[in-house]
Chains A and B, each alone.
Chain A
């Protein structure tokens, strides 16, 4: 440790930075020798105000009355939307912790004054000033009082392989989801230890937990349902039995709570539980982390490093907040003012230009049927690439600079010479993601790095996906709808350019979907065969494009309602390496019972044996045997009950369901009757049963008799899912049942017999199709 060693220098990692009452900020530092230390650093914070001189004078007068240490001065800063320097009054507050309250008071007293840099997360300010971000590896000089004299980052957020901090992680998991039923024990894991501690009796339980926290002294508490249940439960027991529980390392701090919320995003209702943050230790709740399943702890670390948000926050925030944070850091670096409330309206324009501008990506209707010799080519992170390549940012779109170019379709101009704030933010992120992707492609399967890279790449994916949406979001600080429209306009332009290239090279374009094309050319078999088209598209558009894979065969499905009508996102196919790709079919939907999606995946696995579409009918006897076997297991009710579970995400509360007899509403009512309420965005699980109300909510107490399962209902779901897979081989819905149950044996099944438009009309006109 550093006691007594005045002016010592340390190497290590910054785990967390937060405000403290009288010492500026606290840094929790993990030194390379394994010691955990608490350091402090004075950290005055500056924000700005703009108004006419008389109002600013009044503000100065008010500031002079404040009982806190601060200083003011007049200066010039750049406003992004005006794209010029404007005169502002800088207000520098000596104690970090006092700034938010001061700003709150001022914004209420002076609602007409525009404030800038007023509500920026401390960790972003710290990064902008020192270059130190969460988990940054750095060198620190501190004095004998543990006050930081200097801090120097030896690492950037853009390293692919940063030096890994030797973090101590304690994992705590209740045995069941507390929302659904009462947990009885806690699964505890750290390093090589695992154990189960019963929650009853309470006193020994809480003593045990306190002693593990004391002796192991973890850096990270990794929990399941810690935010919504566990931490509160532990605190309650600690209070009841008067056993001190060292959840925090920081002396004198309790836990910090943030409320739960329900919101609507990307067509889904999302429920986020309350959050519990610790000080000096990090609490991460796997069940409340945004996309834990996608990216895990590695992804959380990566998000913290690239967004600059504290780890406890980056584990839980939406990717949109992550992108916002990154843009603020870029703004602080560029010396651009960060508006508190954006006051930016859309420019007036003609209705026709709205027609052209207000469009998304191009989504085609594919050529229905079964196809071979198909390659799928995708633009790599298309929208972020477009933003970076064409320099699309709030301040570059609509530029009056003489070098400005015209954006296709929109009739607006864009300055492509001076790098904009949004592209500057995205460029390193995009570069890092592409580097990860290259590494993932080249590393062998057994390499542990591959898994880490995959986690990181998927964390980046969400940041990059939202960065585009945030250009058009009305509350985004640096968003502007014209910039958002410019991105989609360029996107459409690039996709059509790619289509032209493909057709010039003799490809048939089967399908296009925003950033991907499915192209067919008989005879093309290898990755090498597709190089010319990739090269040409990339040369013509300036954007990176890659071959996602070559299909042995792929089937584009029609709509459920009408087999003449193609739908954009319902297809399945098998790549040459045997990987199955499915979209929009039952196995991909989370509400499909496992016994049904399991069947689909098993049939698909069998279908991978066909090297081309022509070989598929040869597999029909095997497929039939498999289907009959799976169906009989379902009907005999011998599968584990979990296999029959239907899981639906709630989009509303029970009172809002208009029809009380829908399975979801009925299951919800059963839960409500035993005092368990679920909120929109949470999931309800149930089984289909015989009689009324036809469902049994999974989380009801007591045993369930499998004889009550409504197997007829599961059979209907089963046949529908089987039809999805066999339809491209020429089956009709009734024909499938006849074939499956031996009522009729089709002699030779033709491939690709989708009804052509008009075909079914022939009998009405007394005609028969002869071909």
Chain B
């Protein structure tokens, strides 16, 4: 069907493609990391489309950051649970 603007999925592929030279020059392990970053940006395509930002890559970066921060929070919670004595005695202490 005719489109005036490319769909967000097309924009995403275009942006990913634009970094293919960057990716190619990376070590294999780093290439996989870059792929993961793009995969996490892809989880927020609907919001990126809705944002209708003139420079969509900025929104993709923010989406990557968002997923990174979620992961940091998850890991922080895991570490805190591991470091603290079991949760129930500590709450008992507080009360």
Contact = CB atoms under 8 A, between A and B. Distances in A.
A764 B32 contact: yes
A765 B71 contact: no
Question: Counting chain B CB atoms within 10 Å of each CB, which of A351, A354, A356, A363 scores highest?
Answer: A363
Given A355-B5, A365-B42, A757 B67 contact: yes
B1 interface: yes
Contact of A761 (B32, B46, B54): B32
B1 A764 contact: no
Given A267-B1, A355-B5, A356-B52, A758 B36 contact: yes
Contacts of B44: 365
Contact of A765 (B29, B46, B54, B67): B29
B69 interface: no
A362 B49 contact: yes
Interface in A360-394: 362-365
Contacts of B3: 358
A771 B39 contact: no
Contact of B46 (A355, A358, A362): A362
A492 interface: yes
Contacts of A492: 50
Nearest to A352: B54
A364 B39 contact: no
A359 B50 CA distance: 8
Interface in B30-78: 32-33, 36, 39-40, 42-46, 49-50, 52-54, 67, 71, 78
A486 to B, nearest CB: 16
A564 B5 contact: no
Interface residues of A, number: 27
Interface majority SS (helix, strand, loop, mixed), chain B: helix
Contact of A771 (B5, B43, B71, B78): B78
B29 A565 contact: no
A355 B54 contact: yes
Contact of B71 (A354, A364, A365, A758): A758
A340 B16 CA distance: 47
A761 B42 contact: no
Given A757-B36, A764-B29, A358 B54 contact: no
Contacts of B71: 757-758
B95 interface: no
A363 B46 contact: yes
A91 B36 CA distance: 69
Contacts of B50: 359, 362, 492, 496
B4 interface: yes
Question: Counting chain A CB atoms within 10 Å of each CB, which of B4, B43, B54, B67 scores highest?
Answer: B43
Contacts of B39: 562, 564-565, 757
A564 B35 CA distance: 10
A584 B41 CA distance: 23
Interface string B1-31: 1011100000000000000000000000100
B61 to A, nearest CB: 16
A94 B87 CA distance: 92
Contacts of A581: none
Contacts of B33: 761
Contacts of B45: 363, 365
A303 B49 CA distance: 37
Nearest to A355: B52
Contacts of B54: 351-352, 355
Nearest to A764: B29
Contacts of B42: 365, 565
Contacts of A296: none
Given A359-B50, A562-B39, A760 B67 contact: no
B36 A358 contact: no
Given A352-B52, A757-B67, 13 more contacts: A354-B5, A355-B5, A355-B53, A355-B54, A356-B52, A358-B5, A363-B46, A496-B50, A562-B39, A565-B39, A566-B43, A757-B39, A771-B78
28 contacts: A266-B1, A267-B1, A351-B54, A352-B54, A354-B4, A355-B5, A355-B53, A356-B52, A358-B3, A359-B49, A359-B52, A362-B46, A363-B45, A363-B46, A365-B45, A564-B36, A564-B39, A565-B39, A565-B43, A757-B39, A757-B40, A758-B71, A760-B32, A761-B29, A761-B33, A761-B36, A764-B32, A771-B78
